[in-house]
A and B are shown apart, each in its own frame.
Chain A
């Protein structure tokens, strides 16, 4: 794209949320231009663990997560690819009575919101997963949760959006945006100028820059999930596992590879560089060997990371701008946005088209940082 152009909606950021929004807006008949500085899904959406999980979420996030969950089943029809999604269930393990009490409390809360879990004691675990899990005090299984291949999801949404007529611009960073009476004037590093009626800010770990262009403050920080994968070993682990307290998470795909992580790698968001840290990889391996002793002899073949944005209160910003009509934010998913991405695409589309959404999002308003922003300024 060169010169000047007009669209109904411009989207900054090619993660799953942005690509899903592009597809949804096209389905609603709006013209869309999405700008991604690298390739779609190359940061948080593409480098994460691949957990498709409702379990353990902040109560405020659960409605988003519930809304997203059925979309994962519909991916083949929606985007033409299953993205290797499998509803394997998610099992959270407790090692102390206190941790078990937390799982029980969450389970009761989730049940009120319609998410069913099965609480299991040590005996039930041993019966359900013989020889797999040792020393756990108990656990909570959310059978409707699962896992998917993160590398495939945002690109699949992007291809579907393209087929539906969206303009998806990769390797084209947005360098600035302003709003006047005519709409949002957006400029890219390639000199593209575009006029959009609405603007969606789904720029992940860089979204606070976009917010600042419109006088809004979001104290985003950078997180790099430290991920590892083993060589294929016989398929034994039929469920996605999280460990209370330790921060370890592990799943096995049917081809046999164990995918696991925990802790944070190194990231520099200005240089757009990130790498796993050896020390953290070793810690995660030690946790894996303690949690699943049978996995200790598997050889690790690769480690990786990427850049995610997070907030101290561990929930994202989602909602209409407080300063600028037509601007919608959704970013800072704090390390657990992968499962939410497809629903976020729908929600931001509703916000653009209708100015509201059927899913409760009040807790995620950027307003919650306004006071801190004044102090920072």
Chain B
């Protein structure tokens, strides 16, 4: 019997992996929560929406169009299941929720291309209606042609920050300003690395220049202080690099400090993790091809390492080639080497990105005690600190047990990074000593009724 191969995630990495395996004649099951392939970066518009690719994806329109079409003609080999959440992994079995219908699938080999999500750092007022994650603000525009506000302030530190502000302004939505926590000097210092992939860097500079030309202020080296508003956002208050306090009137805030890997399934599978200092987050331990510590399990794309869509496609192909090699199939060594060179260049450029848009962990560590840290469970920064100083929590999981931080609906996917920094600071230890929030099934909420169905259902084989 042929090996059952499953790919989770139909973004750039997962789609490319499925395509490569199909070209080699191997059948795969491709699972994704969305209605069509493309992932977040090349997310498709809903049925009936008719914006052209150029309007949706800008300079990346060609890539998006190619990726969307990448599965065409392989219907017999690629079983693409849309609207499907993989909510748990138990041994070699995946548990699925397909639009409210429970199912399970067994696999022999698995490529996890589960993508990334926004990394946010709370600030006073961040739970007010009108505050969105930066990536969420972008998805609203890309997916449904909606702006999160009529006058949005963009806050954080991320290559997406100037890009999404540009996209909003180009789409005719008001942009109140861009408040970037990384100093201009750091961006200049990162230029040598950034130029490893000159095209991407040039695009970034173009967006910034475009914003400047259109009178949209961009503050570098700023410190966000609070979001103001009664029932809704009315302003963002920050301190400039020069130390002056400024107030920007706005009706929405898009907040983002880069991305964090979504790797809960790898965690449930028992994969080893390592702490990645440059991006200040835990990542799945992997070799150059995406092989994890668990036999037959590969990771690719932003769920494996945050390095963007182009790298994700290459990493998806690389993982697929590794899988083929592991099956004893012939693999084009020249192509493997070529991918390696591409990825090395992108990695160098990412090192520049990590400096140009640095993660300001001190902002999390210096939050006031009364700021809400965990939205789901309404846990304040002070409660997390006291779990450490008064109750003796010695890592993030113990703090979770004592004060419920990260224990709610999102399972710490939103507050986890900032909570780890608060715990580390309270312990007086480096961030990696605060540990990693353990993944617990389900990866995302699943109704009792769907779990109940799964009990009755029969397992299918891929």
For B104, B411, B440, the residue with the greatest tally of chain A CB atoms inside 10 Å of its CB is: B440
Q: Is the CB of B411 within 8 A of A297?
A: no
Could you tell me the distance between the alpha carbons of A296 and B451 in the complex, rounded to whole angstroms?
9
Asked whether any CB of chain B lies closer than 8 Å to the CB of A278, the reply is yes
* A299 and B391 alpha carbons, distance in the complex (Å): 30
Q: Which of B62-70, B280-288, B342-350, B400-408 contacts A (4 or more CB under 8 A)?
A: B400-408
Inter-chain CA distance A281–B93, complex, in Å, is 14
Residues B439-462 near A (CB distance < 8 A)? 440-442, 445-449, 451-452, 454-456
Q: Is B398 an interface residue (CB 8 A)?
A: yes
A284 to chain B minimum Cβ distance, whole angstroms, is 8
Interface membership of B217, Cβ < 8 A: no
Q: Is the CB of A298 within 8 A of B448?
A: yes
Is A102 positioned at the interface, with any CB of B under 8 Å from its CB?
A: no
Using C-beta atoms within 8 Å of the partner chain, give the interface range for chain A. Answer: 20 to 34
A288 at the interface (CB under 8 A from B): yes
Closest-CB distance, B78 to chain A (whole angstroms): 26
Contact call A281/B451, Cβ cutoff below 8 A: yes
Residues of B within 8 A of A151 (CB): 401-402
Contact indicator A297/B442 (Cβ below 8 Å): no
Contact with A along B391-416 (1 / 0, CB 8 A): 11010001001100001110100000
Inter-chain contact A286/B445, CB cutoff 8 Å: no
CB distance from B103 to the nearest CB of A (A): 12
A316 within 8 A of B: no
With beta carbons under 8 angstroms apart, the residue of B102, B445, B454 that contacts A299 is B445
* Nearest Cβ on chain B to A14's Cβ, whole angstroms: 12
Give every chain B residue within 8 A of A303 (Cβ-Cβ): 440-442
| 0/1 interface trace, chain B 410-426, chain A, CB 8 Å (1 if under) | 01000000000000000
Against B, the Cβ 8 Å flags (1 = close, 0 = not) of A303-334 are 11000000000000000000000000000000
Question: What is the 8 Å Cβ interface bit string for chain B, positions 333-367, against chain A (1 contact, 0 not)?
Answer: 00000000000000000000000000000000000
Contact status B95-A159, CB under 8 Å: no
Instruction: Contact check, B441 vs A278: say whether CB atoms are below 8 A apart.
Output: yes
Which of B392, B398, B411 is close to A301, meaning CB atoms less than 8 Å apart?
Answer: B411
Judging by beta carbons under 8 Å apart, are A289 and B452 in contact? yes
Question: How far, in angstroms, from A151 to B402 measured CA to CA in the complex?
Answer: 7
Q: Is the CB of A39 within 8 A of B394?
A: yes
A276 at the interface (CB under 8 A from B): yes
Checking B407, B408, B455 against A282 with a beta-carbon cut-off of 8 angstroms, the contacting residue is B455
Whole-angstrom distance between the Cβ of B139 and the nearest chain A Cβ: 22
A288 to B451, CA, bound (A): 10
A152 at the interface (CB under 8 A from B): yes
Cα distance A300–B102 when bound, in Å? Answer: 14
Please tell me if B108 contacts chain A, counting CB pairs below 8 Å.
no
| A279 CB, min distance to chain B CBs, angstroms | 7
Contact of B90 with A278 in the complex, beta carbons under 8 Å: yes
Q: With the chains together, A282 CA to B448 CA distance in Å?
A: 8
Q: Is A43 an interface residue (CB 8 A)?
A: no
Residue in A279, A281, A301, A304 with the greatest tally of chain B CB atoms within 10 Å: A301
A114 to B147: give the CA distance in the assembly, Å.
66
B452 contacts A282, C-beta separation under 8 Å: yes
Q: Is the Cβ of A46 less than 8 Å from the Cβ of B441?
A: no
Q: Which residues of B contact A159 (CB under 8 A)?
A: 391-392
| B448 in contact with A295 (CB, 8 Å) | yes
Once the chains are docked, how many angstroms separate the CA of A352 from the CA of B455?
Answer: 49
| Cβ distance A300 to chain B, nearest Cβ, rounded Å | 5
* Bound form: Cα–Cα A155–B446 in Å: 31
Q: Which of A204-246 contact B (CB under 8 A)?
A: 230-231
Kindly state the separation between the CA atoms of A283 and B102 in the bound complex, as whole angstroms. 13
The answer, yes or no, to whether B158 is at the interface (CB within 8 Å) is: no
Residues of the B chain whose Cβ atoms lie less than 8 Å from the Cβ of A155: 391-392, 402
Is B88 an interface position by the 8 A CB rule?
yes
CB pair A301 B442 closer than 8 Å: yes
B440: chain A residues within 8 A (beta carbon): 276, 302-304
Contacts of A231 in B (CB 8 A): 408-409, 445
Q: Which of A251-303 contact B (CB under 8 A)?
A: 276-279, 281-283, 285-286, 288-289, 295-303
Contact B455 A279 (CB under 8 A): yes
User: Quick one: closest A residue to B440, CB to CB?
Assistant: A302
Taking a contact as CB atoms under 8 Å apart, the answer to whether B402 and A300 are in contact is: no
Interface string of A77-119 (1 = CB under 8 A from B): 0000000000000000000000000000000000000000000
A296 surroundings in chain B (CB, below 8 A): 447-449, 452
Residue of B nearest to A229 (CB): B407
Cβ–Cβ < 8 Å partners of B401 in chain A: 46, 151
**A152 — which chain B residues lie within 8 A by C-beta?**
402
Contacts of A46 in B (CB 8 A): 401
- CA A138 to CA B393, docked complex, whole Å: 44
By CB atoms of chain A within 10 A, which of B95, B441, B446, B456 has the most? B441
A298 lies within 8 A of B447 (CB)? yes
The chain B residue sitting closest to A287, CB to CB, is B452
State whether A286 and B455 are in contact (beta carbons under 8 Å apart), knowing that A152-B402, A159-B392, A300-B446 are contacts in the complex: yes
A151 to B392: give the CA distance in the assembly, Å: 13
Q: How far is the CB of A305 from chain B (nearest CB, A)?
A: 10
Q: Considering only CB atoms, which chain B residue lies closest to A303 in the complex?
A: B441
Shortest Cβ distance from residue A28 to the other chain B in the assembled complex, whole angstroms: 24
Which residues in B have their C-beta under 8 angstroms from that of A282? 102, 451-452, 454-455
Given contact pairs A276-B441, A303-B442, A285 touches B402 in the complex (Cβ within 8 A):
no
Tell me, rounded to whole Å, the shortest Cβ–Cβ distance linking A208 to chain B.
Answer: 27
CB distance from B168 to the nearest CB of A (A): 32
Would you call B455 and A299 a contact (CB within 8 A)? no
Q: Which residues of chain B have C-beta atoms less than 8 A from A298's C-beta?
A: 447-448
Whether the Cβ atoms of A289 and B448 lie closer than 8 Å is yes
A39 to chain B, nearest CB (A): 6
Output the nearest chain A residue to B102 by Cβ-Cβ distance.
Answer: A282
Shortest beta-carbon distance, A115 to chain B, in Å?
A: 31
CB-based contact A285/B411 at 8 Å:
no
Q: How far is the CA of A276 from the CA of B95 in the complex (A)?
A: 14
Q: CA–CA, A359 to B447, complex, Å?
A: 45
Identify A285's interface contact among B392, B394, B398, B451, CB under 8 A. Answer: B451
> By the criterion CB–CB under 8 Å, are B441 and A297 in contact?
no
In the bound complex, residues from chain A placing their C-beta under 8 Å from that of B442 are: 300-303
Q: Are B452 and A285 in contact (CB under 8 A)?
A: yes
Q: Which residue of B lies closest to A297 (CB)?
A: B447
How long is the Cα–Cα vector from A105 to B442 in the complex, in angstroms? 40
In the bound complex, CA of A215 to CA of B401 (Å) = 37
Closest beta carbon of chain B to A302's beta carbon, Å = 5
Query: Given the complex of chains A and B, what is the CA–CA distance between A155 and B398 in angstroms?
Result: 11
- A272 to B: closest C-beta gap in Å: 14
Determine if A39 and B398 form an interchain contact, defined as CB atoms under 8 angstroms apart.
yes
Q: Which residues of A contact B445 (CB under 8 A)?
A: 231, 299-301
Q: Closest CB of chain B to A146's CB: distance in Å?
A: 20
* Ranked 3 nearest A-B pairs via Cβ: A285-B451, A299-B445, A286-B452
Could you pull out 28 A-B pairs where Cβ atoms are within 8 angstroms? A39-B394, A39-B398, A46-B401, A155-B402, A231-B445, A276-B441, A277-B90, A278-B93, A278-B95, A278-B441, A281-B451, A285-B451, A286-B452, A288-B448, A289-B448, A296-B452, A297-B449, A299-B409, A299-B447, A299-B448, A300-B442, A300-B446, A300-B447, A302-B407, A302-B441, A302-B442, A303-B440, A303-B441
Q: A296-B452, A300-B446 are in contact. List 10 more A-B contacts (CB 8 A).
A: A278-B93, A279-B455, A283-B455, A286-B451, A286-B456, A297-B447, A299-B445, A301-B408, A302-B442, A304-B440
